[in-house]
Amino acid sequence: MVHEAIAANPGRRMWLLSPIIHNPTVNRDLVARGVRFIKDPEVSGIGVGEASTAGAPALTAAGGHSGDPFLRVDPDDLVVIPAFSAEVEDMERLAAIGCTILDTTCPWVERPHRRTERLISEGFTLVIHGKVGHDETRATCSLIRNREGHYVVVADLPETDLVCAVIRGTMPAEELARGFPGAMSPRFDPAQHLERVGLINQTTMLASESREIGNRIAAAMRERHGSDQLQSRFRDYDTICSATQENQDAVHELLTSSGLDLMLVVGGYESSNTRNLARVAAGRVPTFHLEDASAISADAIGHQRLDRPERVVTRGWLPAGKVVVGFTAGASTPDNKLGEVIQRVIEVAGERPDSLLAAG
Protein backbone atom coordinates (compact mmCIF):
# COMPACT_ATOMS: atom_id res chain seq x y z
CA MET A 1 0.00 0.00 0.00
CA VAL A 2 2.81 2.41 0.84
CA HIS A 3 4.73 1.62 -2.34
CA GLU A 4 1.58 2.28 -4.37
CA ALA A 5 1.03 5.57 -2.54
CA ILE A 6 4.61 6.65 -3.26
CA ALA A 7 4.15 5.90 -6.96
CA ALA A 8 0.79 7.70 -7.08
CA ASN A 9 2.02 10.83 -5.26
CA PRO A 10 5.31 11.94 -6.85
CA GLY A 11 6.79 14.94 -5.07
CA ARG A 12 4.30 14.81 -2.19
CA ARG A 13 5.63 14.68 1.37
CA MET A 14 4.85 11.38 3.06
CA TRP A 15 5.21 10.49 6.71
CA LEU A 16 5.05 7.29 8.72
CA LEU A 17 3.49 7.86 12.11
CA SER A 18 5.97 5.29 13.48
CA PRO A 19 7.74 2.20 12.02
CA ILE A 20 5.31 0.44 9.72
CA ILE A 21 6.41 -2.97 11.02
CA HIS A 22 9.20 -4.02 13.36
CA ASN A 23 11.73 -4.82 10.67
CA PRO A 24 14.60 -2.38 10.09
CA THR A 25 15.15 -3.44 6.46
CA VAL A 26 11.61 -2.52 5.49
CA ASN A 27 11.71 0.79 7.34
CA ARG A 28 15.10 1.69 5.83
CA ASP A 29 13.73 0.97 2.37
CA LEU A 30 10.85 3.38 2.93
CA VAL A 31 13.22 6.04 4.19
CA ALA A 32 15.33 5.58 1.06
CA ARG A 33 12.17 6.21 -0.98
CA GLY A 34 11.64 9.55 0.74
CA VAL A 35 9.22 8.66 3.53
CA ARG A 36 9.84 10.42 6.85
CA PHE A 37 8.94 9.47 10.41
CA ILE A 38 6.79 11.62 12.69
CA LYS A 39 7.97 9.89 15.85
CA ASP A 40 9.89 6.91 17.21
CA PRO A 41 12.55 6.64 14.48
CA GLU A 42 14.90 4.81 16.88
CA VAL A 43 12.54 1.84 16.99
CA SER A 44 13.28 1.09 13.37
CA GLY A 45 16.97 0.52 14.10
CA ILE A 46 18.10 3.58 12.13
CA GLY A 47 19.71 6.35 14.11
CA VAL A 48 18.12 9.78 14.08
CA GLY A 49 19.54 11.79 11.22
CA GLU A 50 21.12 8.73 9.60
CA ALA A 51 20.42 8.21 5.92
CA SER A 52 20.06 4.60 4.86
CA THR A 53 21.67 5.09 1.47
CA ALA A 54 23.69 7.76 -0.25
CA GLY A 55 21.44 10.57 -1.39
CA ALA A 56 18.47 9.35 0.63
CA PRO A 57 16.71 11.76 2.97
CA ALA A 58 17.86 11.75 6.57
CA LEU A 59 15.60 10.02 9.06
CA THR A 60 14.63 12.67 11.58
CA ALA A 61 11.89 12.97 14.13
CA ALA A 62 9.46 15.66 13.06
CA GLY A 63 9.83 18.71 15.25
CA GLY A 64 13.14 17.47 16.68
CA HIS A 65 13.66 16.05 20.16
CA SER A 66 12.42 19.09 22.06
CA GLY A 67 9.28 20.06 20.14
CA ASP A 68 5.90 18.70 19.23
CA PRO A 69 6.55 15.94 16.65
CA PHE A 70 3.34 16.76 14.75
CA LEU A 71 4.17 20.42 14.07
CA ARG A 72 6.04 19.75 10.84
CA VAL A 73 3.13 17.88 9.28
CA ASP A 74 1.14 20.04 6.84
CA PRO A 75 -2.42 19.66 5.52
CA ASP A 76 -1.07 18.75 2.06
CA ASP A 77 1.01 15.85 3.44
CA LEU A 78 0.14 12.15 3.42
CA VAL A 79 0.56 10.24 6.70
CA VAL A 80 0.71 6.44 6.91
CA ILE A 81 -0.72 4.67 9.95
CA PRO A 82 1.39 1.54 10.60
CA ALA A 83 0.23 -2.06 10.75
CA PHE A 84 0.03 -1.85 14.57
CA SER A 85 -2.69 0.87 14.38
CA ALA A 86 -2.38 4.15 16.31
CA GLU A 87 -3.39 5.76 19.54
CA VAL A 88 -6.67 7.67 19.48
CA GLU A 89 -4.88 10.86 20.50
CA ASP A 90 -2.54 10.64 17.50
CA MET A 91 -5.44 10.12 15.11
CA GLU A 92 -7.16 13.18 16.58
CA ARG A 93 -4.01 15.26 16.05
CA LEU A 94 -3.79 14.20 12.42
CA ALA A 95 -7.48 14.89 11.85
CA ALA A 96 -7.00 18.39 13.27
CA ILE A 97 -4.09 19.01 10.88
CA GLY A 98 -6.27 17.96 7.96
CA CYS A 99 -3.65 15.83 6.19
CA THR A 100 -4.49 12.78 4.09
CA ILE A 101 -4.29 9.52 6.05
CA LEU A 102 -3.38 6.12 4.62
CA ASP A 103 -4.35 3.49 7.19
CA THR A 104 -2.41 0.23 6.85
CA THR A 105 -3.65 -1.25 10.14
CA CYS A 106 -3.54 -5.03 9.93
CA PRO A 107 -7.01 -6.64 9.94
CA TRP A 108 -5.81 -8.97 12.70
CA VAL A 109 -5.06 -5.93 14.85
CA GLU A 110 -8.55 -4.58 14.23
CA ARG A 111 -10.10 -7.77 15.67
CA PRO A 112 -9.06 -7.19 19.31
CA HIS A 113 -10.15 -3.55 18.94
CA ARG A 114 -13.65 -4.66 17.98
CA ARG A 115 -13.69 -7.17 20.83
CA THR A 116 -12.46 -4.46 23.19
CA GLU A 117 -15.29 -2.07 22.37
CA ARG A 118 -17.87 -4.82 22.81
CA LEU A 119 -16.44 -5.89 26.18
CA ILE A 120 -16.32 -2.32 27.48
CA SER A 121 -19.96 -1.80 26.48
CA GLU A 122 -20.85 -4.93 28.48
CA GLY A 123 -19.01 -3.71 31.59
CA PHE A 124 -15.86 -5.84 31.42
CA THR A 125 -12.33 -4.81 32.36
CA LEU A 126 -9.70 -5.80 29.81
CA VAL A 127 -6.75 -7.99 30.70
CA ILE A 128 -4.32 -7.62 27.79
CA HIS A 129 -1.68 -10.26 27.18
CA GLY A 130 0.94 -8.01 25.65
CA LYS A 131 3.96 -5.81 26.18
CA VAL A 132 3.68 -2.42 27.81
CA GLY A 133 4.98 0.11 25.29
CA HIS A 134 4.51 -2.08 22.20
CA ASP A 135 2.86 -0.07 19.42
CA GLU A 136 -0.14 -2.36 19.15
CA THR A 137 -0.76 -2.55 22.88
CA ARG A 138 -0.38 1.23 23.21
CA ALA A 139 -3.09 1.65 20.58
CA THR A 140 -5.39 -0.80 22.38
CA CYS A 141 -4.86 0.89 25.75
CA SER A 142 -5.59 4.28 24.19
CA LEU A 143 -8.84 2.94 22.74
CA ILE A 144 -9.90 1.60 26.14
CA ARG A 145 -9.10 4.87 27.91
CA ASN A 146 -11.06 6.85 25.34
CA ARG A 147 -14.06 4.53 25.75
CA GLU A 148 -13.81 5.08 29.53
CA GLY A 149 -12.90 1.47 30.16
CA HIS A 150 -10.16 -0.07 32.30
CA TYR A 151 -7.28 -2.42 31.62
CA VAL A 152 -4.25 -4.16 33.03
CA VAL A 153 -1.46 -5.48 30.78
CA VAL A 154 0.23 -8.78 31.66
CA ALA A 155 3.38 -9.83 29.84
CA ASP A 156 3.68 -13.42 31.06
CA LEU A 157 2.48 -16.11 33.45
CA PRO A 158 4.11 -14.71 36.64
CA GLU A 159 2.35 -11.38 36.10
CA THR A 160 -0.90 -13.26 35.41
CA ASP A 161 -0.52 -15.11 38.70
CA LEU A 162 -0.41 -11.78 40.56
CA VAL A 163 -3.68 -10.73 38.93
CA CYS A 164 -5.19 -14.11 39.79
CA ALA A 165 -4.11 -13.75 43.42
CA VAL A 166 -6.05 -10.48 43.66
CA ILE A 167 -9.08 -12.09 41.98
CA ARG A 168 -8.98 -14.94 44.52
CA GLY A 169 -8.54 -12.49 47.40
CA THR A 170 -5.24 -14.02 48.51
CA MET A 171 -3.22 -10.84 47.80
CA PRO A 172 -4.16 -7.27 48.76
CA ALA A 173 -5.35 -5.28 45.76
CA GLU A 174 -2.90 -2.44 46.46
CA GLU A 175 0.01 -4.85 45.98
CA LEU A 176 -0.95 -5.25 42.33
CA ALA A 177 -0.64 -1.53 41.58
CA ARG A 178 2.90 -1.50 42.99
CA GLY A 179 3.92 -4.43 40.81
CA PHE A 180 2.54 -3.08 37.51
CA PRO A 181 3.97 0.38 36.85
CA GLY A 182 2.55 1.77 33.62
CA ALA A 183 0.48 -1.34 32.97
CA MET A 184 -2.87 -0.15 34.32
CA SER A 185 -5.48 2.34 33.19
CA PRO A 186 -5.81 5.58 35.18
CA ARG A 187 -7.75 5.14 38.44
CA PHE A 188 -7.60 1.37 38.09
CA ASP A 189 -9.03 -0.24 41.22
CA PRO A 190 -8.19 -3.97 41.27
CA ALA A 191 -10.79 -4.70 43.94
CA GLN A 192 -13.51 -3.22 41.74
CA HIS A 193 -12.31 -3.68 38.18
CA LEU A 194 -11.34 -7.36 38.37
CA GLU A 195 -14.90 -8.43 39.19
CA ARG A 196 -15.65 -8.96 35.48
CA VAL A 197 -12.76 -9.56 33.09
CA GLY A 198 -12.28 -10.02 29.36
CA LEU A 199 -8.97 -11.35 28.03
CA ILE A 200 -7.55 -10.22 24.68
CA ASN A 201 -4.07 -10.68 23.22
CA GLN A 202 -1.56 -8.52 21.48
CA THR A 203 -1.72 -10.37 18.18
CA THR A 204 1.97 -11.36 18.11
CA MET A 205 2.26 -13.00 21.52
CA LEU A 206 3.05 -16.65 22.20
CA ALA A 207 -0.22 -18.49 21.56
CA SER A 208 0.36 -21.29 24.06
CA GLU A 209 1.10 -18.72 26.76
CA SER A 210 -2.08 -16.78 25.94
CA ARG A 211 -4.12 -19.97 26.29
CA GLU A 212 -2.57 -20.73 29.67
CA ILE A 213 -3.22 -17.16 30.84
CA GLY A 214 -6.88 -17.68 29.95
CA ASN A 215 -6.96 -20.98 31.84
CA ARG A 216 -5.45 -19.42 34.96
CA ILE A 217 -7.78 -16.44 35.03
CA ALA A 218 -10.79 -18.72 34.48
CA ALA A 219 -9.66 -20.93 37.39
CA ALA A 220 -9.28 -17.90 39.67
CA MET A 221 -12.72 -16.59 38.70
CA ARG A 222 -14.26 -20.02 39.27
CA GLU A 223 -12.63 -20.31 42.69
CA ARG A 224 -13.75 -16.83 43.74
CA HIS A 225 -17.28 -16.71 42.34
CA GLY A 226 -18.24 -20.29 41.56
CA SER A 227 -18.63 -22.19 38.29
CA ASP A 228 -22.15 -20.90 37.70
CA GLN A 229 -20.82 -17.31 37.60
CA LEU A 230 -17.90 -17.96 35.24
CA GLN A 231 -19.67 -17.20 31.97
CA SER A 232 -20.99 -13.86 33.21
CA ARG A 233 -17.69 -12.80 34.78
CA PHE A 234 -15.02 -13.96 32.31
CA ARG A 235 -14.66 -13.77 28.52
CA ASP A 236 -11.64 -15.14 26.64
CA TYR A 237 -11.05 -14.18 23.00
CA ASP A 238 -8.16 -15.60 21.02
CA THR A 239 -6.91 -12.68 18.93
CA ILE A 240 -3.53 -14.14 17.96
CA CYS A 241 -2.70 -13.34 14.31
CA SER A 242 -3.07 -16.31 11.97
CA ALA A 243 0.43 -15.80 10.52
CA THR A 244 1.86 -15.73 14.05
CA GLN A 245 0.01 -18.92 14.95
CA GLU A 246 1.07 -20.71 11.75
CA ASN A 247 4.72 -19.79 12.28
CA GLN A 248 4.66 -21.01 15.88
CA ASP A 249 2.99 -24.28 14.83
CA ALA A 250 5.58 -24.74 12.07
CA VAL A 251 8.44 -24.29 14.54
CA HIS A 252 6.91 -26.89 16.86
CA GLU A 253 6.66 -29.31 13.93
CA LEU A 254 10.25 -28.60 12.86
CA LEU A 255 11.53 -29.22 16.38
CA THR A 256 9.61 -32.48 16.62
CA SER A 257 10.46 -33.99 13.26
CA SER A 258 13.87 -32.77 12.11
CA GLY A 259 16.49 -33.75 14.70
CA LEU A 260 17.81 -30.19 14.93
CA ASP A 261 21.10 -29.29 16.60
CA LEU A 262 20.42 -25.55 16.65
CA MET A 263 17.93 -22.97 15.41
CA LEU A 264 18.32 -19.55 13.81
CA VAL A 265 15.37 -17.15 14.01
CA VAL A 266 15.61 -14.15 11.69
CA GLY A 267 13.82 -10.87 12.27
CA GLY A 268 13.87 -7.40 13.78
CA TYR A 269 14.92 -7.18 17.40
CA GLU A 270 11.79 -5.14 18.21
CA SER A 271 9.53 -7.77 16.61
CA SER A 272 7.36 -9.47 19.21
CA ASN A 273 6.35 -12.40 17.01
CA THR A 274 10.00 -13.07 16.08
CA ARG A 275 11.08 -13.11 19.73
CA ASN A 276 8.29 -15.53 20.53
CA LEU A 277 9.38 -17.89 17.76
CA ALA A 278 12.81 -17.89 19.38
CA ARG A 279 11.23 -18.64 22.75
CA VAL A 280 9.43 -21.64 21.28
CA ALA A 281 12.65 -23.08 19.87
CA ALA A 282 14.90 -22.23 22.83
CA GLY A 283 13.15 -24.72 25.05
CA ARG A 284 14.40 -27.55 22.83
CA VAL A 285 17.68 -26.58 21.11
CA PRO A 286 20.28 -23.78 21.23
CA THR A 287 18.58 -20.84 19.52
CA PHE A 288 19.83 -17.51 18.16
CA HIS A 289 17.63 -14.52 17.27
CA LEU A 290 19.52 -12.47 14.69
CA GLU A 291 18.52 -9.57 12.50
CA ASP A 292 20.30 -10.43 9.24
CA ALA A 293 23.20 -12.27 7.62
CA SER A 294 25.76 -9.63 8.63
CA ALA A 295 25.60 -11.04 12.18
CA ILE A 296 27.18 -14.35 11.11
CA SER A 297 30.83 -15.32 10.84
CA ALA A 298 32.56 -18.68 11.08
CA ASP A 299 33.50 -18.26 14.73
CA ALA A 300 30.89 -15.82 16.06
CA ILE A 301 27.25 -14.81 15.79
CA GLY A 302 25.66 -11.55 16.92
CA HIS A 303 22.19 -11.96 18.34
CA GLN A 304 19.70 -10.76 20.92
CA ARG A 305 19.35 -12.55 24.23
CA LEU A 306 16.04 -14.33 24.70
CA ASP A 307 15.52 -13.33 28.31
CA ARG A 308 16.03 -9.59 27.90
CA PRO A 309 16.63 -7.03 25.11
CA GLU A 310 20.42 -7.17 25.10
CA ARG A 311 22.63 -7.64 22.04
CA VAL A 312 25.48 -10.11 22.53
CA VAL A 313 28.09 -12.02 20.51
CA THR A 314 28.48 -15.77 20.98
CA ARG A 315 31.64 -17.50 19.80
CA GLY A 316 31.87 -21.14 18.77
CA TRP A 317 28.18 -21.07 17.87
CA LEU A 318 28.46 -23.56 14.99
CA PRO A 319 29.52 -27.04 16.21
CA ALA A 320 32.11 -28.97 14.21
CA GLY A 321 31.08 -31.93 12.09
CA LYS A 322 27.64 -32.75 10.80
CA VAL A 323 25.10 -30.20 12.04
CA VAL A 324 21.37 -29.93 11.39
CA VAL A 325 20.35 -26.26 11.44
CA GLY A 326 16.76 -25.09 11.52
CA PHE A 327 15.69 -21.72 10.10
CA THR A 328 12.59 -19.61 10.56
CA ALA A 329 11.69 -15.93 10.40
CA GLY A 330 9.22 -13.51 11.87
CA ALA A 331 6.10 -12.56 9.94
CA SER A 332 7.58 -9.14 9.16
CA THR A 333 10.90 -10.49 7.80
CA PRO A 334 11.32 -10.24 4.01
CA ASP A 335 11.96 -13.61 2.38
CA ASN A 336 15.24 -12.46 0.88
CA LYS A 337 16.62 -11.71 4.36
CA LEU A 338 15.92 -15.26 5.47
CA GLY A 339 17.51 -16.54 2.25
CA GLU A 340 20.65 -14.47 2.87
CA VAL A 341 21.02 -15.97 6.35
CA ILE A 342 20.71 -19.51 4.98
CA GLN A 343 23.27 -18.68 2.28
CA ARG A 344 25.66 -17.22 4.85
CA VAL A 345 25.47 -20.25 7.13
CA ILE A 346 26.21 -22.54 4.21
CA GLU A 347 29.24 -20.41 3.32
CA VAL A 348 30.74 -20.26 6.83
CA ALA A 349 30.23 -24.02 7.15
CA GLY A 350 32.41 -24.50 4.06
CA GLU A 351 29.69 -26.06 1.96
CA ARG A 352 28.53 -25.33 -1.59
CA PRO A 353 24.85 -24.38 -1.89
CA ASP A 354 24.43 -26.25 -5.17
CA SER A 355 25.71 -29.52 -3.67
CA LEU A 356 23.29 -29.26 -0.75
CA LEU A 357 20.39 -28.53 -3.07
CA ALA A 358 21.33 -31.48 -5.24
CA ALA A 359 21.32 -33.66 -2.14
CA GLY A 360 17.80 -32.47 -1.27
3-state SS string for the chain: CHHHHHHHCCCCCEEECCCCCCCHHHHHHHHHCCCEECCCHHHHCCCCCCCCCCCCCCCCECCCCCCCCCCCCCCCCEEEECCCCCCHHHHHHHHHHCCEEEECCCHHHHHHHHHHHHHHHCCCEEEEECCCCCHHHHHHHHHHHHCCCCEEEECCHHHHHHHHHHHHCCCCHHHHHHHCCCCECCCCCHHHHCCCEEEEECCCCCHHHHHHHHHHHHHHHHHHHCHHHHHHHEEECCCCCHHHHHHHHHHHHHHHHCCCCEEEEECCCCCHHHHHHHHHHHCCCCEEEECCHHHECCCEEEEECCCCCCEEEEECCCCCCCCCEEEEECCCCCHHHHHHHHHHHHHHCCCCHHHHHHCC
136 carries an active-site annotation: yes
Cβ(341)–Cβ(290) under 8 Å?
Answer: yes
Catalytic residue, candidates 136, 159, 209, 270: 136
Question: Taking the CA atoms of the chain, what radius of gyration do you get in angstroms?
Answer: 22
- Rounded Cα distance, 231 and 325, in Å: 46
- Rounded Cα distance, 278 and 251, in Å: 9
Length of the chain: 360
- Rounded Cα distance, 87 and 105, in Å: 12
Nearest to 330 by CA among 272, 284, 282: 272
- What residues are labeled active site? 136
